[in-house]
């Protein structure tokens, strides 16, 4: 009798293949060949979270082959869901030749298909679905795009918190978000998600002894709750602009250094622990949602245009640390130490 095929295993394999293309390139493009003292050839490469690996052989071809075997074994011996985050998002240092890209014919664009997706069927309360449809219309987006985004942020929040929080309590928290929409009629909805996200969600559901449908609905309702909190919090923080920043800065223990608070609210300065705690109490929000809002503010900040003859000023693509922001003000030592102590 032919054994039944495991659809989850096949789905995970397909998702792994998608990631392996970029991952192999990102790792092997920096591989190096050197001649050892004994005349053999050493081939080395850097594997994120593992470190530098080297294979030695009599010839370069054999050394490269040994590296490929070791790399393949390292990348495939564990499940995709157990991969370090660096493996799922390899950093590319190469640059695309923009001139060549512009010159390349685009007549084949119309034949390009959408990125592959996988489907999870979920049963949603009809009032939740109606709210999602209304939100999609306001944003001029499709229901599928909005639902896909909310499922993703709901699951990623669960996944991140699962490392530090009790899994049973975390699931109860997600269940409460879902139960808020009841009593209500229900309706079956098909969610089309990225293969890697689908595999991770199915694996997590299996560990929690939940069906993929039930867990998918929980992630969607949790993502919707997170989004609603962020929208409400953003409206409350919108009142803190201009002159209103100064009294709030004093209230938070920053004295007259309102510029530091402005940077925190814009997401360009990493908020110290005491300040973010005081902000959470002030605006009746969780520290986690404040952190989400600051990250969103930084990522969506407008990039200024520059007109200069001799080059252009650089805009930082990283958040400034609290210590760096404080020390850049060149304040007296006692004031500097007091501000730095907020992040001790």
Residue with tokens 């970029």: 22
Domain count of the fold of the chain = 3
Position 31 scores a pLDDT of 82
The CATH number of the domain holding residue 63 is 3.30.160
Tell whether 276 is covered by a domain.
Answer: yes
- What is the overall mean pLDDT for the chain? 78
Average pLDDT over residues 46-54: 81
Residues 213 and 133 in one domain: yes
Position 10 scores a pLDDT of 65
Residues 158 and 70 in one domain: no
Tell whether 95 is covered by a domain.
Answer: no
Average pLDDT over residues 169-197: 88
Residues 264 and 334 in one domain: yes
Between the alpha carbon of residue 91 and those of residues 45, 47, 96, 129, the distances in Å are 15, 12, 14, 37
Position 116 scores a pLDDT of 67
β-bridge partners, 118: 193
Could you give the CA distance from residue 336 to residue 323 in angstroms, rounded to a whole number? 9
Tell whether 108 is covered by a domain.
Answer: no
Position 112 scores a pLDDT of 44
With 90 as the cut, is the pLDDT of residue 168 above it? no
Q: What is the pLDDT of residues 104-145, one digit of tens each?
A: 444 444 444 455 678 888 889 999 999 999 888 888 888 888
The CATH number of the domain holding residue 140 is 1.10.1220
Position 321 scores a pLDDT of 87
End-of-domain residue from the set 168, 197, 232 = 232
User: Of 197, 205, 206, 184, nearest to 148 (Cα)?
Assistant: 197
- Cβ(193)–Cβ(257) below 8 Å: no
Residues 141 and 160 in one domain: yes
| Per-residue confidence band for 77, with pLDDT thresholds at 50, 70 and 90 | confident
Residues 227 and 268 in one domain: no
Percent helix, strand and coil across the chain, each to the nearest 5: 60, 10, 30
Average pLDDT over residues 172-188: 89
Residues 122 and 218 in one domain: yes
Question: Burial level of 196, CB count in 10 A (0-12/13-18/19+)?
Answer: buried
End-of-domain residue from the set 192, 207, 232 = 232
User: Of 252, 246, 240, nearest to 278 (Cα)?
Assistant: 252
Long-range contacts of 170-175 (CB under 8 A, 24+ apart): 171/208, 171/210, 171/218, 173/222, 174/218, 174/219, 174/221, 174/222, 175/218
Residues 149 and 202 in one domain: yes
Helices (H), 29-125: 60-76, 85-88, 98-103
With 70 as the cut, is the pLDDT of residue 303 above it? no
With 80 as the cut, is the pLDDT of residue 82 above it? no
Average pLDDT over residues 69-80: 82
Position 96 scores a pLDDT of 38
Residues 133 and 190 in one domain: yes
Could you tell me the residue range of the domain that residue 196 belongs to? 118-232
Position 306 scores a pLDDT of 47
Tell whether 2 is covered by a domain.
Answer: no
What phi-psi label fits residue 242: left (phi over 0), alpha (psi between -120 and 50 degrees) or beta? left
Could you give the CA distance from residue 73 to residue 159 in angstroms, rounded to a whole number? 26
Position 322 scores a pLDDT of 86
Residues 225 and 127 in one domain: yes
Residue 278, token pair as written in the block: 């005081």
């Amino acid at each position: 009798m032919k054994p039944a095929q495991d659809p989850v295993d096949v789905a995970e394999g397909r998702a792994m293949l998608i990631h392996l293309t970029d991952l192999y390139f990102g790792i092997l493009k920096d591989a190096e060949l050197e001649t050892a003292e004994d005349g053999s050839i050493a081939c080395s490469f850097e594997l994120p979270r593992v470190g530098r690996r080297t294979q030695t052989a009599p010839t370069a071809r054999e050394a490269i082959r040994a590296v490929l075997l070791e790399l393949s074994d390292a990348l495939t011996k564990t499940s995709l869901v157990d991969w370090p985050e660096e493996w799922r998002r390899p950093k590319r240092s190469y640059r695309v030749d923009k001139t060549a890209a512009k010159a390349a014919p685009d007549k084949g664009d119309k034949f390009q298909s959408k990125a592959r997706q996988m489907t999870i069927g979920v049963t949603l309360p009809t009032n939740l679905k109606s709210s999602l449809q209304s939100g999609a219309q306001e944003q001029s987006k499709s229901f599928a795009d909005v639902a896909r985004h909310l499922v993703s942020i709901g699951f990623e929040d669960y996944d991140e918190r699962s490392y530090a929080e009790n899994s049973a309590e975390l699931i109860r928290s997600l269940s409460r978000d879902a139960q808020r929409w009841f009593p209500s009629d229900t309706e079956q909805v098909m969610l089309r998600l990225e293969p890697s996200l689908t595999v991770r969600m199915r694996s997590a559901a299996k560990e929690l002894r939940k069906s993929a449908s039930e867990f998918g609905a929980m992630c969607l309702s949790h993502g919707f709750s997170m989004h609603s909190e962020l929208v409400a919090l953003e409206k409350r923080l919108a009142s803190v602009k201009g002159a209103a920043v100064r009294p709030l800065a004093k209230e938070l223990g920053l004295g007259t250094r309102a510029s530091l608070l402005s940077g925190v609210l814009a997401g360009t300065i990493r908020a110290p622990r005491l300040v973010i705690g005081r902000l959470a109490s002030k605006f009746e929000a969780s520290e986690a949602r404040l952190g989400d809002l600051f990250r969103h503010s930084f990522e969506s900040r407008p990039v200024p245009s520059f007109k200069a003859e001799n080059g252009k000023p650089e805009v930082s693509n990283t958040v400034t640390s609290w210590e760096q922001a404080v020390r850049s003000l060149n304040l007296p030592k006692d004031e500097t130490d007091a501000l730095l102590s907020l992040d001790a």
